[in-house]
């Protein structure tokens, strides 16, 4: 598919614009055997559009017999987006979904009122070892979807819009941008894309969205007068016409944003909600451990263990 649109020469570039509102330096977190870099939520920003959580996973090399075991755990009030650059992960959830997550595909799990899932590198992947790299994000649900039913949808890479021209290769993973729309219906206006830029290539940011940010996975970009290296999230001022330029080694970016929600969200452990009362009710339900009749079930293919709720 040809690139649309071509960079409009009326968009300010170089020294003509400095549209960055916030620069976020992610925090390193050890999840037991592998490290993630967490950009959201941060002290500077809770959300970019509806995106309330952003972890860069790896890259990490697992030797034969090693892997990830994220045991079953619950979510409410959010949708998870697992997007891999390299490697494979095995997703199982309380709806009965059993899906291998692979590079370039989108995996959207909407928790609504409550869901439980696990992510592991098991079976033949653990037997042979692998390199794993990717991004895990959460989308906070609007108030009218917080108490809705849970769902899981997997869309292969070949089904997603792919733009390739002018030194840019962009896969639109979710939402609408650059004149294209990804196939999954979203609960609010948002966009999420994986962009690879050749050295010196320009990427205009979508103008139709209120909140916009980029996360630099590799390489570097220039915005305004400054250059930014990998491992930085840049959040741009609403309303400005902005483009970023890849550095001398090119760049790999996650580009995301959308409309802001009706208000801030409360976050506790794996729960996101518009009220403290919703968080407290979910805490009680998970701690009760009534997997047969309670609010939460365990994945039917992975129900021998689970992550207990934190004490705090």
**Number of CB atoms found within 10 A of residue 123's CB:** 12
Are the beta carbons of 118 and 70 closer than 8 angstroms? yes
CA atoms within 13 A on the CB side of 153: 15
Beta bridge partners of 209: none
For residue 84, give Cα distances in angstroms to 132, 144, 256, 308: 8, 30, 16, 27
Q: Given strand 69-75, what is the order of strands in its sheet?
A: 69-75, 115-120, 89-93, 98-101
146 is in an annotated binding site: no
Full DSSP string of 42-87: -SS-S-BTTEEEEEEEEEEEEPTT---EEEEEEEBSEEEEEEEEES
Residue (of 78, 74, 21) closest to 50 by Cα position = 78
Please state, in angstroms and rounded to a whole number, the distance separating the CA atoms of residues 212 and 231: 17
154 is in an annotated binding site: no
What distance lies between CA 161 and its chain's CA centroid? 18
Write out the two tokens for 293: 């009749």
9 is in an annotated binding site: no
| Binding-site residue set | 73, 75, 117, 119
| Binding-site residue set for Fe cation | 73, 75, 117, 119
């Amino acid at each position: 598919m040809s690139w649309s649109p071509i960079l409009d020469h009326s968009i300010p570039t170089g020294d003509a614009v400095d549209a960055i509102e916030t620069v976020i330096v992610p925090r390193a977190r050890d999840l037991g055997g592998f490290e993630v870099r967490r950009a959201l939520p941060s002290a500077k920003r809770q959300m970019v559009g509806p995106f309330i959580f952003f972890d860069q996973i790896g890259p990490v090399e697992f030797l034969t017999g090693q892997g990830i075991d994220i045991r079953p755990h619950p979510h409410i009030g959010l949708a998870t987006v697992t997007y891999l650059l390299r490697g494979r992960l095995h997703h199982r959830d309380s709806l009965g979904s059993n899906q291998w997550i692979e590079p370039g595909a989108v995996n959207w799990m909407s928790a609504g009122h409550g869901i439980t899932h696990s992510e592991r590198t098991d079976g033949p992947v653990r037997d042979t070892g692998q390199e794993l790299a990717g991004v895990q994000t959460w989308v906070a649900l609007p108030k009218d979807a917080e108490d809705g039913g849970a769902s899981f949808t997997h869309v292969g890479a070949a089904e997603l819009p792919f733009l390739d021209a002018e030194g840019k290769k962009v896969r639109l993973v979710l939402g609408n941008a650059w004149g294209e729309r990804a196939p999954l219906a979203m609960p609010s206006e948002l966009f999420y894309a994986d962009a690879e830029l050749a050295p010196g290539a320009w990427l205009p940011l979508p103008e139709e969205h209120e909140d916009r940010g980029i996360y630099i996975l590799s390489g570097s970009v220039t915005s305004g007068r400054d250059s930014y290296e990998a491992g930085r999230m840049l959040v741009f001022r609403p309303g400005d016409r902005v483009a970023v330029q890849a550095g001398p080694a090119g760049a790999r970016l996650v580009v995301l944003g959308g409309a802001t929600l009706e208000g801030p969200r409360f976050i506790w452990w794996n729960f996101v909600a518009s009220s403290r009362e919703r968080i407290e009710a979910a805490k009680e339900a998970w701690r009760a451990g009534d997997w047969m009749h309670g609010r939460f079930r365990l994945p039917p293919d992975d129900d021998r263990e689970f992550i207990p709720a934190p004490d705090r």
